[in-house]
Amino acid sequence: PGVQLPHDPEKKTVVVLGSGWGATAFLKSLDTTDYNVVVVSPRNYFLFTPLLPSVAVGTLSTRSILQPTRYVTRHKARSVKVIEAEAQSVDPINKTVSFIDNSDIQGSVSSTTIPYDYLVYAVGAETQTFGIPGVQEHACFMKELQDADKFQRRFLDCLESSAFPGQSDDEIGRLLHMVVVGGGPTGVELSGELHDFLEQDLKSWYPELAGKIKITLVEALPSVLPMFSKRLIDYTMSTFKESKIDILTQTMVKEVKERSVMLAMPDKSIVEMPCGMVVWAAGNRNRKITQDLMAQLPADQANKRGITIDEYMQMKGTRESIFAIGDCTASSHAPTAQVASQQGAYLARAFAQRAKRDALQARLTDLESSAAMMLHEDERNKVVEQVETVKRSLAKFKIRPFTYSHQGTLAYIGSDKAIADLPFFNGSFASGGVLTYYFWRSAYLSTLFSLRNRTLVATDWVRTKVFGRDVSREW
């Protein structure tokens, strides 16, 4: 009863978990004529994460950086079933996935289990908290769309509360102190975007408060952005200094309280720093479903960073049935969109080869069984010859391994400046400044998956330039 899953018994079923960078790149490139394809993800859209901090401060509108997954799948040669649901568990032995509808509104059925021949596992990661007290309760993250919404709401709330008549100077100082934890690219880009919001809009909207807003970036390591070259790290530090963004390095956040953060300073002393809000951007950790899946294969899956895969994206220990890509894996590559999307596109090409191989394998089985049934020797010999030809083709069959091609690393640092480390012949080319910012903009505009999103983002940039960001509360 009800809506059926695409099912052709002649074809193998590929279940894709996720609708992020890896899964979307896979779906875009996959030839769906070869497989029954089912996508399961708790969000029915793709999120262009590099521009999430711009949504958080209102430079871009939310919808501009989303692409509904059905836009991606609707033009496919064979229909693809998209299910908005959260996978709860994977059984790698019986090859099944169980998932639930955990949205606010549910029908009478809200959980089920389906079988797969191949599972493309691309569930990404969640934000690392290291179990630090108060992070879940009091901090905002910057990973999902709802994080950007929450950030905007809280930030505007801090502004309005500090403008409330009779607020003491100390309390205004606290409410207008924004702390960003984590000096990786997420924390740096968000600090830069916050600074722009302050300079370009808040100064005119809240002139009496603008001078009191303070941004502090806290990083446990000796420097921010360790993936960038030293020159660009120095450039970022000096740009932040000019922008009056304080950077505290070798400083670790030990606890987040409702109105402050506890810091372990470089000299090991513990300092309480009052603040209005905290944004937590301290890196990635595995999702629970990933930990549970790995725990079922302890002999092959012991890496704490994520799923161990081989150069064909196969999850070790699952013998060509689970393929893992993106942030949920532990490989020699950084957990970036660039890696996840190249892995997804590679996997789609490998699946096209795999379909050809599976077809040859099926033909071989047919020929062998018909040869066994043939009574006349001449006829049997003809079939045996065909069997040998197919066997030779199969023996030559090779699926190529994945190779990563690094296109460079880019980050926006605020004040219309960006930094870029780009591969150049055998070395690299580092650049930072306003020109790099225009390069950053054009690179992201061209990476956006559809013309619709490119148009929306470009229009938002013009809108923000002409009219500024909107500081009214929507809810």
Q: Which residues contact 194 (CB under 8 A, 6 or more apart)?
A: 57, 155, 178, 180, 215, 414
Query: Is 50 one of the binding residues for ligand FAD (CB under 6 A)?
Result: yes
Nearest approach in angstroms of CB 99 to ligand FAD is 7
Which of 19, 105, 60, 36 has the alpha carbon at shortest distance from 326? Answer: 19
CA distance 270 to 275: 16
Query: Is 410 one of the binding residues for ligand NAD (CB under 6 A)?
Result: yes
CA angle 148, 149, 152 (to 5 degrees): 85
Site mask for ligand FAD (CB under 6 A), range 125-154, x = bound: -----------------xx-----------
Site mask for ligand NAD (CB under 6 A), range 63-102, x = bound: ----------------------------------------
Nearest approach in angstroms of CB 468 to ligand NAD is 25
What does 218 bind: ligand NAD, ligand FAD, none (CB cut-off 5 to 8 Å by kind)?
ligand NAD
What are the structure tokens assigned to 311, written together?
A: 């150069």
Sheet containing 214-218: give its strands across.
245-248, 214-218, 177-181, 277-280
Query: Is 124 one of the binding residues for ligand FAD (CB under 6 A)?
Result: yes
Which of 407, 470, 469 has the alpha carbon at shortest distance from 444? Answer: 407
Q: Which segment (14-22, 106-114, 196-204, 356-364) binds ligand FAD by CB under 6 A? A: 14-22
Query: Is 193 one of the binding residues for ligand NAD (CB under 6 A)?
Result: no
What are the structure tokens assigned to 253, written together?
A: 């956040």
Query: Is 40 one of the binding residues for ligand FAD (CB under 6 A)?
Result: yes
Task: Classify the C-alpha dihedral 444-446-448-452 as positive or negative.
Answer: positive
Among 156, 163, 337, 371, binds ligand FAD (CB under 6 A): 337
Site mask for ligand NAD (CB under 6 A), range 240-259, x = bound: ------------xx------
Among 13, 32, 36, 41, binds ligand FAD (CB under 6 A): 41
H helices of 40-162, where? 52-56, 69-73, 135-138, 145-162
Nearest approach in angstroms of CB 123 to ligand FAD is 4
Q: Which segment (23-31, 77-85, 207-215, 334-342) binds ligand NAD by CB under 6 A? A: 334-342
Among 5, 77, 227, 435, binds ligand NAD (CB under 6 A): 227
* Residue 176 and residue 213 in contact, taking contact as beta carbons nearer than 8 Å: yes
Residues 312-331 that bind ligand FAD (CB under 6 A): 326-328
Query: Is 18 one of the binding residues for ligand FAD (CB under 6 A)?
Result: yes
Q: Is 269 exposed, middle or buried (0-12, 13-18, 19+ CB in 10 A)?
A: exposed
* Residue 352 and residue 31 in contact, taking contact as beta carbons nearer than 8 Å: yes
What does 134 bind: ligand FAD, ligand NAD, none (CB cut-off 5 to 8 Å by kind)?
none
Which of 15, 65, 17, 39 has the alpha carbon at shortest distance from 287? Answer: 17
Q: Which segment (74-82, 117-125, 242-250, 430-438) binds ligand FAD by CB under 6 A? A: 117-125
Residue type, 101: D
Residues 100-139 that bind ligand NAD (CB under 6 A): 132
Among 183, 276, 326, 344, binds ligand NAD (CB under 6 A): 183
CA distance 38 to 12: 11
Q: Which is nearer to ligand NAD, 337 or 352 (CB)?
A: 337
DSSP string, 326-348: GGGB--SS-S-HHHHHHHHHHHH
What does 41 bind: ligand FAD, ligand NAD, none (CB cut-off 5 to 8 Å by kind)?
ligand FAD
Site mask for ligand NAD (CB under 6 A), range 337-376, x = bound: ----------------------------------------
Site mask for ligand FAD (CB under 6 A), range 263-302, x = bound: ------------------------x-x-------------
**For helices 337-373 and 377-396, what crossing angle results, to 10°?**
170
Among 42, 124, 185, 414, binds ligand NAD (CB under 6 A): 185
* Residue 260 and residue 133 in contact, taking contact as beta carbons nearer than 8 Å: no
Query: Is 215 one of the binding residues for ligand FAD (CB under 6 A)?
Result: no
CA angle 170, 175, 176 (to 5 degrees): 100
Rounded CA Rg of the chain: 26
Query: Is 409 one of the binding residues for ligand NAD (CB under 6 A)?
Result: yes
HSE (CB half, 13 Å, CA atoms) of 107? Answer: 6
**For helices 434-447 and 451-467, what crossing angle results, to 10°?**
140
Q: Is 65 exposed, middle or buried (0-12, 13-18, 19+ CB in 10 A)?
A: buried
Query: Is 336 one of the binding residues for ligand FAD (CB under 6 A)?
Result: yes
Which residues of the chain form contacts with ligand FAD (CB under 6 A)? Answer: 17-23, 40-43, 49-50, 52-53, 86-87, 122-124, 142-143, 186, 287, 289, 326-328, 335-338, 340
Binding site for ligand NAD (CB under 6 A): 50, 132, 181-187, 189, 218-221, 227, 252-253, 281-284, 334-336, 409-411
